[in-house]
Amino acid sequence: MVKKPTKNTSGRGQRDLTVKVKTARGRSLSSTRWLQRQLNDPYVKMAKAEGFRGRAAFKIRDLDDKFRFLIPGARVVDLGCAPGGWCQVAVKRVNALSERPSKAQGRVLGIDLQEVEAIPGAEIHQLDFLAEDAEKQVMAWLGGPADVVMSDMAASSSGHKQTDHLKIIALCEAAAYFSFDVLVEGGTFVAKVLAGGAEGELQKMLKSRFKKVENVKPPSSRADSSEKFVVATGFKGPLPDVDADADQD
């Protein structure tokens, strides 16, 4: 049961618009708290108003406002793209729907394990990016290397904070290795991580392959969430083929 917003009696002429939710029979306290947070989240309301599939769309928008990697003409791969909010933002910013000759037209490729409803301007494929030769398949669909690889993926929660942290770091590392195979030199990698103390190796790996690595918590990320985003720019390109060099000697 949802109670109507209550009036503010502070005498300042303002109203308290907080929606309070009672715990219903059969619904846990945690579910009730989640529902109350959703009902009072301004970004949830904004997402509905602007036609986005979720509040996460504002996170990639915030990140791009700061780092400017979704430029017109860019080719973008969104790993774990469901429900599609990041793709929606990317389509508009890289001009994936533009047919004007004067504007560079980008490409947006969404990849997910589950089937995702079609997104105008984006090409969606059901694929496990960890599968053998997945990077070759993605580049074939894209028609070449990507300018941006981005990931808002999160491993399924176990309820144990440290375990969940390690799982999402491992997922982020896998996404990073995938990006090494598909990014063009100078490209950008963006991914969600959770603060928790195990990010050292990930940071070290990214700094060895990109010119600049920054960790950011965008304004649209909930204050009580431990999530942050790593933005790695200026991909240095593929490593030299050691075996090939040895054969030449």
CA nearest to 121, candidates 79, 80, 74:
74
> Is residue 152 part of an annotated ligand binding site?
yes
Could you tell me if 75 and 148 are in contact, meaning their C-beta atoms sit under 8 angstroms apart?
yes
Q: Which two tokens stand for residue 215?
A: 């960790």
Could you tell me if 40 and 69 are in contact, meaning their C-beta atoms sit under 8 angstroms apart?
no
State the angle between helix axes of 134-142 and 161-182 in degrees (0 to 180), rounded to the nearest 10: 60
Q: How far apart are CA 230 and CA 71, in angstroms?
A: 19
> Is residue 112 part of an annotated ligand binding site?
yes
Q: How far apart are CA 80 and CA 170, in angstroms?
A: 14
> Is residue 200 part of an annotated ligand binding site?
no
CB atoms within 10 A of CB 59: 25
Q: Could you list the active site residues?
A: 192
232 forms bridges with which residues in the sheet?
189, 213
> Is residue 128 part of an annotated ligand binding site?
yes
DSSP string computed for 182-195: HEEEEEEEEEEEE-
Peptide bond into 101 cis (omega under 30): no
Residues in the chain: 249
> Is residue 84 part of an annotated ligand binding site?
yes
**Annotated binding-site positions:** 84, 86, 112, 128, 152
**Annotated binding-site positions for S-adenosyl-L-methionine:** 84, 86, 112, 128, 152
